[in-house]
Structure 1
Amino acid sequence: MTRRRGAQELAQAAVLKGVLALPGSVRRRLTSAHGAHGQWLANDVRLMLRLMQLAGEPGPETLPVDEGRVAMARQTAAAGGRRRVASVRDLRLGEGDDALLARLYVPRSRLLEQTAPTLLFLHGGGFVFGDLETHDGACRFLAEEAGVRVLAVDYRLAPEHPFPAAHDDAWAAYRWLLEHPELVGADLDRLAVGGDSAGANLAAHVARRAAAEGLPLAFQLLVYPITDATRTGGSREAYAEGYYLTGGFIELAERSYTPDPVSRTDPRMSPLLADDVPDGLAPAHVATAGWDPLRDEGEDYGYALQRAGVRVEVRRHPSQIHGFLNTVGVAPTSRLAVREVAAALKEALG
């Protein structure tokens, strides 16, 4: 069962939702306009960042890892909402110590169907943070908006489990789904893999390996993915401070999950650096945020796949920051952006 939210999380959610529900004219008086490089940061996103600053909400990367994980869970619970779905069920993929925790979301539109289009979802968090709880709101929203079953999977985190542990777990989850579709009602002809940030990196790995091995996959949904762990400059430099995902967070993630710098050039970690694109790679939707350090590499990966003949839609959301997938419960513009992401998934899986 999903974890019940504490009083602090509920209070933060109420404040965020209340302030961001104020008329636009009132919100604009509470913050100043912010634009650069030909794009404007959404008013509700600016206000949300300002409220977090006033509340003294620490960045997870500024805390010891265990405390940072708690902080991220609190922040995402406050912002993610709790969209109603038909059912939510926790399960284990596999047996024994190697079993992975997972959670199945069934939308109301698919409750009576024995099999349905299914998204294997891998959460973000820099390979260090994140779990089934941090992305509960996002998975609920995607399930209902796209009309697909969502199987969210936990995987081992760094620094306890460095590269390639998370990639191995993502592949194991995909193989489990292929072998046991009846346990979650998955239609293997309408199967997608997706995730955000680090989770999108894992999803890209699963898609590439599935194509290389000739296994079924209809679509990949990549939301602000990490695609080049060696990247510097560009958006990584321009948006390194002040927009939730910081340069310090990225440095911690790289140091924790890839302590050996050589592993950052591995195609699993940096698919943009891969020598080739496997034949039969699933079509993709790549969503990026205008004010995100990972923006450039995500878009570069999408365009590289296009040049290789893969059907890819690259969609930048210019008013958003990294993490907009997790703020669907409070930020109207973020909700609109994620609704577009869900629409792409819905169209791809029919």
Structure 2
Amino acid sequence: MLSVNVTTADAVFDGVRVRIFDDDRPSVGATPGETKLRPAVIFFHGGGFMMMNLDAYHGHTAHIARNFQVMLISVEYRLAPKHRFPAAIDDCTAATVWFLEHAHDFNVDPTRVAVMGDSAGGNLAAAVAQRLTFDPKYKSLPKVKLQILIYPMLQAFDFQTPSYQQNGDYTSVIMNRKYTVMAADNYMNGNSSLDSKMSKNLHTSADAKTSPLAQKCLSHDLIPDEFKQTGYEAPSTNLGDESIYNEIKEVLLDPDFAPLMREDLRGLPEAYILTAEYDVLRDDGIMYAKRLEMAGVPVAWKHYRRGFHGMFGALFDSPTEKLGQIDFAEYLKEHL
């Protein structure tokens, strides 16, 4: 990796605070004295929609800008529970749209812009990519080139996937079922009133679990058998609470909240999806990768058998993290 300086500047894009990371390299392919348009990454941080900010992620986002040779825009979206859905996705959309409209002002090629996020930020990156692809009011914008989803949280309908069953009850890891349920509930409701129901899949109804939409979008058949060899049992479809489901289904099924619940994924940008073996969110990423492939969307799915939630955050000096960084650098250089 090159050793370069990264400069930062705080700004506001359409009412949303952002931090811009740039470096001191000449643009790749530029001749002396020439300014060549560059690629850029718009980054949405993790934290379960409730935690973290630009400062907490400063080291990580500076690392991406420095080592992966991109301009990076880190977005400070509003957090739950004070600001419930759709505040976060609205902020991320607004900042992305503004940047795409003004990319030339930053010497950025608007056709070489990626959206990226980890965990809850992966949810927001997928949702932004969907909005900009399918909402007619954005059809005049340059199309986002890549969606980069790092162990994304993509649904709150099923907390009994194989990865939740295998990894959900650990208390000594960064992410477990208790935390993801709390995060989804706070983002959806602004409180944790349904946590106990959601953790047992009692927040949906029997009819909802067997509906064509659930079977298409969240079928465990999408998950390869190799991920079901240990500690997995097909969850019951007979349990649930119709009254709770009727209260929350409008949000629960909204692709802006749960990108996995969008029925038709055709036409979305190329995707890079990282999943980790010891992560409750592993199967969200796997199901999305498989469904994107089925929809004809190019997908690079990178799975790390010794991986864990947070492995990509430049916080751990592990062989798995280093491999993930190398794989990502190679992909980004070729595709963005």
Correspondence 1:341 to 2:321 = no
1:68 alignment counterpart: none
Question: Greater CA deviation, 329-338 or 112-121?
Answer: 329-338
Answer whether contact 1:287 1:341 (CA < 8 A) is retained: no
Query: What is the one-letter code of the residue matched to 1:219?
Result: L
2:57 alignment counterpart: 135
Flag the 1:121–1:323 CA change in 2: closer, same or farther, 3 A: same
Query: What is the one-letter code of the residue matched to 1:85?
Result: N
Q: 1:255 offset after TM fit, Å? A: 1.8
- Please, what TM-score do these two structures have when normalized by structure 1? 0.70
1:256 alignment counterpart: 186
Query: What is the one-letter code of the residue matched to 2:154?
Result: T
How many residue pairs were aligned? 262
Distance 2:312 2:26 in 1: 23
Q: 1:254 offset after TM fit, Å? A: 1.4
SS at match of 1:109: coil
SS at match of 2:77: coil
Answer whether contact 1:115 1:187 (CA < 8 A) is retained: yes
Correspondence 1:317 to 2:304 = yes
Query: What is the one-letter code of the residue matched to 1:91?
Result: A
Show the 5 A alignment for 1:117-132: 117-132=39-54
Task: Considering fraction of residues, name the structure with more helix.
Answer: 1
Correspondence 1:92 to 2:12 = yes
Deviations 1:90-143 (A, max 9, x none): 11113xxxx211111113434784631000111111100111122222212222
Question: Greater CA deviation, 239-248 or 154-163?
Answer: 239-248
Correspondence 1:151 to 2:73 = yes
Q: 1:227 offset after TM fit, Å? A: 1.5
SS at match of 1:211: helix
Query: What is the one-letter code of the residue matched to 2:42?
Result: L
Distance 1:210 1:153 in 2: 17
1:297 alignment counterpart: 284
1:227 alignment counterpart: 154
Q: 1:333 offset after TM fit, Å? A: 3.2
Q: 1:274 offset after TM fit, Å? A: 1.2
Deviations 1:195-241 (A, max 9, x none): 11111111111111222243321111110111121122211121121
Flag the 1:141–1:299 CA change in 2: closer, same or farther, 3 A: same
Correspondence 1:106 to 2:22 = yes
Distance 1:184 1:190 in 2: 13
Flag the 1:339–1:107 CA change in 2: closer, same or farther, 3 A: farther
Distance 2:280 2:265 in 1: 25
Which of 154, 158, 164 aligns to 1:236? It is 164
SS at match of 2:25: helix
Which of 168, 175, 180 aligns to 1:245? It is 175
Distance 2:298 2:93 in 1: 23
Flag the 1:173–1:156 CA change in 2: closer, same or farther, 3 A: same
Answer whether contact 2:36 2:107 (CA < 8 A) is retained: yes
Correspondence 1:277 to 2:207 = no
Q: 1:329 offset after TM fit, Å? A: 6.0
Answer whether contact 1:137 1:326 (CA < 8 A) is retained: no
SS at match of 1:226: coil
Answer whether contact 1:85 1:105 (CA < 8 A) is retained: no
Distance 2:287 2:57 in 1: 26
Query: What is the one-letter code of the residue matched to 1:227?
Result: L
Question: Greater CA deviation, 136-145 or 123-132?
Answer: 136-145
In structure 2, list runs of 5 or more residues that go unmatched. Answer: 28-33, 190-246
- Please, what TM-score do these two structures have when normalized by structure 2? 0.73
Answer whether contact 1:123 1:152 (CA < 8 A) is retained: yes
Correspondence 1:326 to 2:313 = yes
Distance 2:294 2:278 in 1: 25
Answer whether contact 2:266 2:292 (CA < 8 A) is retained: no
Answer whether contact 1:124 1:200 (CA < 8 A) is retained: yes
Answer whether contact 1:88 1:105 (CA < 8 A) is retained: yes
Query: What is the one-letter code of the residue matched to 1:286?
Result: I
Flag the 1:90–1:276 CA change in 2: closer, same or farther, 3 A: same
Question: Greater CA deviation, 191-200 or 329-338?
Answer: 329-338
Q: 1:145 offset after TM fit, Å? A: 2.4
Answer whether contact 2:272 2:299 (CA < 8 A) is retained: yes
Distance 2:330 2:315 in 1: 15
Deviations 1:290-347 (A, max 9, x none): 1100001111101100000000111111112111122346445313313322332222
The root-mean-square deviation of aligned C-alpha atoms, in Å, is 2.0
Answer whether contact 1:203 1:222 (CA < 8 A) is retained: yes
Flag the 1:113–1:336 CA change in 2: closer, same or farther, 3 A: farther
